[in-house]
Each structure stands twice: as structure tokens, then as C-alpha cells.
Amino acid sequence: MRKPFAVAVSFFSFAMLACGASPAPEQQTPAPTQQEQGLNAVGQGCFADTQCSSGLCWTEADSYPLYNPQWIRADQCTEECGGPTDHAYCQQLAADYNAPYPNQARCIPARGVYDNYPYDDIFYVCDLIPAGLGKVHWAN
């Protein structure tokens, strides 16, 4: 008695597949929270660290005199790098984010770039502006 039932179930399953019946839908991953959706990726403009998915917002004032805030206003979400000769890391980062000129990215010294770091200290960050990422606003 079991064989005819097994044959009938197998035949029914095969018929459903042949007729184009779709399998049960897979469970979808939940949508990102509103905060995750609002964070800027590396290379996008920013005003504060809290706006960046990397947690680090760089502005030209953080790196004077490399950038003179009297003639340029620049901002970007970025990442730390190893030091003044660690350009390869920044260039790879720029390439990962599809910068138009990734080989122009550089590792530069920046002063107190973290919003929650109250001390005057030197950090090294990837300057992605020359690579074509971030935002540049010319001062009047």
C-alpha cells in the first residue's frame, strides 16, 4: 500500500514542478534600520563623524596647511591610514569605492579629526579628494 502512495506523491511533485509552480519563498533579510540607511559611505561628503559609516569625517581644516581653508572647503567620510608613506592603502581604498583617479589618493596628517577626541593630536587619514571622492566647495 505504501508504494502506490509514494508513487502518487512523487508524480504530483513532479507535475507541480513541470507546470511552473514556484518553490516556497525564502525568508528575506530584514531591511537596514533608518540609522544604517542614513550613513554616508567612504568618499561621500559629511559634516560630522556620526554621518559616516566609517565613523570618521575629515574636513580641510583638520589638515591645514595641506589644504588652506581660506580657498577651499572640502569634506569626506574616510578612514585612518598608517602614516605619511602609506599611500598604497588609501589608493586601494579609493579604488574599492570606484574613485575616478584612485592613484591620486594619499595618506596625510590631520589634527583632531574625531568629534569625540578633545586633544590636539596628529592622526593620519586618507585624503580621497584628489582621487575624485568627497566634496570640494571653493571659498569666496
Residue 67 has pLDDT above 60, yes or no: yes
Residue 15 has pLDDT above 80, yes or no: no
Beta bridge partners of 103: none
Domain of 49, in residue numbers: 37-138
Look at residue 2 and tell me if it is in a domain.
no
Look at residue 110 and tell me if it is in a domain.
yes
C-alpha cell at 46: 559629511
Supply the pLDDT for residue 105.
96
Supply the pLDDT for residue 42.
95
Look at residue 19 and tell me if it is in a domain.
no
Residue 22 has pLDDT above 90, yes or no: no
Look at residue 41 and tell me if it is in a domain.
yes
Supply the pLDDT for residue 140.
65
Contacts of 86 (CB under 8 A, 6+ apart): 107, 124
Look at residue 12 and tell me if it is in a domain.
no
Look at residue 116 and tell me if it is in a domain.
yes
Number of separate domains in the chain:
1
Supply the pLDDT for residue 66.
80
Peptide bond between residue 130 and the one before it cis (omega within 30 degrees of 0): no
Look at residue 22 and tell me if it is in a domain.
no
